[in-house]
Amino acid sequence: MIEIIQADGTREQAVIAAMRQRAAEQNSEIERAVRAVMEDVRARGLEAVREYSLRFDGREPYEITREQMEAAYAACPPELIRAMEHAAANIRDYNEKLLHRSVEWASPDGGRVGRVVRGLTRVGIYVPGGTAAYPSSVLMNAVPARVAGVEEIVMVTPPTENLSNAVLAAAKIAGVDRCIAVGGAQAVAALTWGAGFIPRVDKLVGPGNAYVATAKRLAYGTLDIDMVAGPSEVLVIADGSADPRFVAADLLSQAEHDKLASAVLLTTSGALAEAVRAEIVRQTGYLSRSEIMECSLRDFGCAIVCRDLEEAAALANEIAPEHLEIMTEDPRALLPAIRNAGAVFLGAWSPEPLGDYLAGPDHVLPTSGTARFFSPLSVESFLKSMSVIEYSRESLFPIREEIIALAETEKLTAHANSIRVRFEAAGARGEGK
């Protein structure tokens, strides 16, 4: 089920190449179809959104009332409500500690400079419908936006026959302002340009199918997005001290997402690799999504036996996984060697699902190697800043000639004049310096 590879500088590179390739492949037919929908909605607005909603979802878009959200909350089992409220509290606490604040200080020249931090005005959250109902994603996207001070959070979800009570309850818990039943590329287009009662947003976050992901990518630049997410992935670094049951369970927890998911073990122990492979066979036998897991592990899963933990860390940095678990004798000792990962889970009792649901850090993470330069979603994703500059005549005067010299070097004489005219005017009035 899972291949065991001895690291030799070649075979493991083939694994990395396959992981990158699976995410790089884009369906040109999907892009053409999505582009057409986007342009049509941009031109015709709500009329086009209605047509596509009827064609693809069988019903028109509509506003989900506050009463519907309250009823959904009341219909959820109490244990689910407790879990979601606990998760929301942890997410809120984590993001409040990361929140940047406005700051000003005296510059070396005697003026004042600083930065004003503001939450975005309006943010959209896309939530898949049907069987792919993820209340945890509602919490992970909406709570940080709320902490950031976003003025209005608009959630969209496909107008399915039976909207998920858990999703609507999560929206209530997270403080979502409006819920609109509209999905697909037409929802992304409506949020990008505005369409009737569906407002334009400044940023759009949240998971979706290939059509939604493509639409978000095409919308980027007109609005901001969280990221273009690829297939899910987990990488486990383990030594001989790791429990093979735990390692196998955690690899399977990502492999069950879809057939393109990647689950890779980097270990210094060939015996552990063999034991993990046996555990995968045993555990897959009683798990519900066994067919998906088998395909995922066959095509994009493996165990790579490394010479030492340093080699394992170097490979991990090259892969830059979405989730990185370290199950070694001293997991924190390896953390300084890790540069590229979406989220790092230290030790046998910090499994990846803990981060997916309850710990507090966001589960919206960079995939497909983009952890080399992207960061997880957080409160910072919903903030923007404005720089502030305030100088007096006395603080501007000593540096006036330097500004003029720089401006004239760039042949921007009006820039130079903007400085010069202030002091020429002062001189004409007999004010001198």
Amino acid 138: pLDDT: 97
Amino acid 23: pLDDT: 60
How far apart CA 125 and CA 191 sit, in angstroms, is 10
Residue 381 has pLDDT above 90, yes or no: yes
Residue 31 has pLDDT above 50, yes or no: yes
Give the model's confidence band at 26: pLDDT under 50 very low, under 70 low, under 90 confident, else very high: low
Q: Which own/partner contact pairs does 333-341 have at CB distance under 8 Å and 24+ positions apart?
A: 334/237, 334/309, 337/309, 337/310, 337/313, 338/313, 340/316, 340/369, 340/371, 340/372, 341/235, 341/316, 341/371
How far apart CA 355 and CA 143 sit, in angstroms, is 15
Amino acid 78: pLDDT: 97
How far apart CA 311 and CA 292 sit, in angstroms, is 30
Rounded to an integer, the average pLDDT of 26-41 is: 91
103 phi and psi angles, rounded to 5 deg: -150, 145
The per-residue DSSP string of 317-362 comes to HHH--SEEEEESSSHHHHGGG----SEEEESTT--HHHHHHTSSS-
CATH of 3-25+230-373, one of 3.40.640.10, 3.40.50.1980, 3.40.800.20, 3.30.420.40: 3.40.50.1980
Is residue 243 within 8 A of residue 325, CB to CB? The reply is no
> Any catalytic annotation for residue 322?
yes
Residue 428 has pLDDT above 60, yes or no: no
Do the annotations mark residue 356 as ligand-binding? yes
- Given the residues 233, 279, 294, 322, the one annotated as active site: 322
Amino acid 433: pLDDT: 47
Amino acid 429: pLDDT: 53
Rounded to an integer, the average pLDDT of 350-374 is: 95
Is residue 147 within 8 A of residue 96, CB to CB? The reply is yes
Collapsing DSSP to helix, strand or coil, 119 comes out as: strand
Query: pLDDT tens across 384-397, in order?
Result: 999 999 999 999 99
How far apart CA 413 and CA 425 sit, in angstroms, is 17
Query: pLDDT tens across 90-127, in order?
Result: 999 999 999 989 999 999 999 999 999 999 999 999 99
Query: pLDDT tens across 250-293, in order?
Result: 999 999 998 889 999 999 999 999 999 999 999 999 999 999 99
Do the annotations mark residue 186 as ligand-binding? yes
Do the annotations mark residue 257 as ligand-binding? yes
> Any catalytic annotation for residue 363?
no
Fold type of domain 45-227: Rossmann fold (3.40.50)
Amino acid 9: pLDDT: 83
- Given the residues 233, 256, 294, 323, the one annotated as active site: 323
Rounded to an integer, the average pLDDT of 135-156 is: 97
Query: pLDDT tens across 201-228, in order?
Result: 999 999 988 899 999 999 999 999 998 8
Do the annotations mark residue 410 as ligand-binding? yes
Q: Residue 356: which of 173, 151, 139 has the closest Cα?
A: 139
Q: Is the pTM of this model over 0.85?
A: yes
Residue 24 has pLDDT above 70, yes or no: no
The encoded tokens of residue 122 equal: 């309006």
How far is Cα of residue 323 from the mean position of the Cα atoms in its chain? 13
Query: pLDDT tens across 83-95, in order?
Result: 999 999 999 999 9
Q: Kindly list the domain boundaries of the chain, sorted by start residue.
A: 3-25+230-373, 45-227, 392-428
Q: Do domains 3-25+230-373 and 45-227 have the same CATH topology?
A: yes
H or E element, residue 140: helix 135-148
